[in-house]
Structure 1
Amino acid sequence: MLRTIERLSVFYNWGPAVPFPAARVAEAADVWLTAEVGVELHAAFYECPDEYRRLPAEQSPVVLFFHGNAGSIRRWRHIGSRWQDALGADVLVLDYRGYGRSSGTPTEAGLYIDARAAYEYLTQDRAVDPERIVIVGQSLGGGVAVNLAHDSAHAALVLESTFTRLTEVPSARLPWLPTERWMRNRFGSIDLLSQYLKPLFVSHGDRDWLIPYAHAERLVEATAGPVEFMTLPGMNHSDRRPPEYNERVRRFLAEHLPQFRGLGESDD
């Protein structure tokens, strides 16, 4: 199921519905992590060049990004430059078990373990202060991100085009199917967000074929802490965020987190 749901959206995306500039190529270092015995994970670490920093390196945000179900970190190479441009951030992008060059078989419980391994790489191996970490999840990665954010020290959470619960994704299009019975992987994000108190930024396209826009509305309503919701007009599930998205996220973090106050300064 983890390899099927999102791939269906490819047939309904004939190109980006909103304009975005071609991403520059950011340099990445290969990272190898041990999630548990027999499971080796591949990740990419994008260290932000000084010219894109918005804060001193030791104060800059560090983005821990969890991608969607389709593809591997090779497909998601634009993520490094996107968050460097948006926040002047270092970026770690993880391939879950069974994805890309990572070993193992994907399961909900396994992906949560993988996320913890990536988090510990940042906080232990790289000695990153948790209060600098912005956890970001897109689509399937939103479920992984929410679970990690639920019980890990960090600065903020950003969710992009994700669901309330994975079991509710197919039921939106095929309501006669008993998805609650046969889906093993549930990713109940909405159940955890009712207890989430840190800043949360949510964005969703209003033409998302795969995960309906209403999922984002419900996530926002369920969240206990400060939240901002950005609707992306004309955007489908696999389209990239427009340039103005970067500014909205940057201003939100600067407004709610003293350590990132300088991010809100104008580019002019």
Structure 2
Amino acid sequence: MTVESNNREAAVIVVAAGRGTRMGTKESKQYLLLEDKPIFVHTLEVFVRLPFIKEIVLVTGELDVPRCQDWVRAYGMEHTVKVIPGGAERQHSVYKGLLETDCEWVLVHDGVRPFVSEAQVTACYEAAMQDGASILAVPVKDTVKQVNDQAYVTSTPDRRSLWAIQTPQAFRHSDLKRAHEEALKDGFLGTDDSMLVERLGVAVKVVEGSYSNIKITTPEDLDYADFIRTKEKTGRG
């Protein structure tokens, strides 16, 4: 299935409500500057350029809504991006975003993943329409050990079956909303949206992404982000 250029029927929820402590800065990671522009703005611009994205909801901290709205206006996205306050947990923020959208398909993306490409987003969206749900991921490079509470190795999973999960993740809106409501009812807190949908028995297709689609959470990530941006501009790599 191919997404037609005039088929604007998907929404995206960009989650940027976390405070983050691993960055070691007073400012939240999503508002740190990358090439003189807040990281989350780089992220939003990827989705603004995609013709099949009809709605963009930026979910941020309640106190940050006014300045995010200012940034959205400053970069000419006020007619495309709606800014709303999030919840106590990422999961709650995504659900609040879902209540603001009504497209049949919805993508969820981390606000601090600015290097996802338009091609990757499109591939994830197409896979969801074909298979019902999809997530971007990359094969794990390192050997992974399962360890018990006493820090002893209990098993070594086959690396060929392990993938590191990224965003965006794409779902039928009704499935994701039901998954969130079931999780809320059960008091279940998942580590990503796919985990909630999997609880419903929905099969989730993995779409290979890129190792450069990093989540910027530490100072080292920010240094690597500068390297990636420089490489993109010079055409090296």
Query: Does TM, normalized by the shorter one, top 0.5?
Result: no
Normalising by structure 2, what TM-score? 0.33
Normalising by structure 1, what TM-score? 0.30
RCO (CA 8 Å, sep 6+): is it higher in 1 or 2? 2
